[in-house]
Amino acid sequence: MVTWFESLTSVEQIFAAVAIPATVLMLIQTILLLVGMGGSGEADVPSDTSGIGDGFDGDIGDIADDFSGGDMSSLGDPGQSGLRLFTVRGIVAFLAVFGWAGLSVSRNGGSEGLSIAVAVLAGFIILIAMSFMLRSIMKLQESGNIDERSAIGCSGSVYLKIPPARTGKGKITVLVQSRLVEFDAVTDDTKSIATGREITVVDLSGRSTMVVRTK
């Protein structure tokens, strides 16, 4: 691996340095999604960011916050402001495709300029494709006439870290009416609830914000 990396040009090394960790993150996201689906029936849906689990508490959740300066939901509601382009999962996919596409073009004789142009184009194509997929999923959820109050008492997992004492909103995924649904969530706990933690919905705040506590 080291020998292969050292055989690359400087630009190719940059592409590889972007592509490899992004691909690893994508694999972790996918594995945790499959484990969640197979284990408890509760799994993350393609959305703002991926729940990487307790091992990444303070990492992925905080990275999500860094991208938006707070709650990733501020980047837009697909039902209100169109596509949500800049989600954690979308950005990871962008970086992975960007890196591998640029490296592939460069290794096949493309110039640095062409490699970068193709990499950026390929990255944006996957970013937009994932955004359309997310919007389609959200529309299906909205059309399902979910009764938010039916989520009370249900268990789920934290998808985006929930700040303590209702000082801000996070996100959770909960299995409601045989559908895996994403909700905004707050907590009365004095400590924040990390990405990947299991929670129980105890109440409804407003129209669709869940009040949760850790299990």
CA distance 91 to 135: 16
Span 121-143, average pLDDT? 76
Least confident of 3-7, 11-15, 65-69: 65-69
Long-range contacts of 166-171 (CB under 8 A, 24+ apart): 166/205, 168/70, 168/71, 169/71, 169/73, 169/209, 170/71, 171/47, 171/48, 171/71, 171/72, 171/73
Instruction: Give the model's pLDDT for residue 206.
Output: 85
User: Percent of the chain, pLDDT > 70?
Assistant: 71
Domains located in the chain, CATH noted: 2-143 (no CATH), 148-214 (2.40.50.140)
User: Percent of the chain, pLDDT > 90?
Assistant: 31
Higher pLDDT, 130 or 188: 188
Using the predicted structure, report yes or no on whether residue 122 has a pLDDT greater than 50.
Answer: yes
CA distance 30 to 35: 9
When pLDDT is cut at 50, 70 and 90, the band that residue 33 belongs to is low
Instruction: Give the model's pLDDT for residue 184.
Output: 92
62-89 tens-digit pLDDT: 443 433 333 333 333 434 444 566 777 8
| pTM for this predicted structure | 0.46
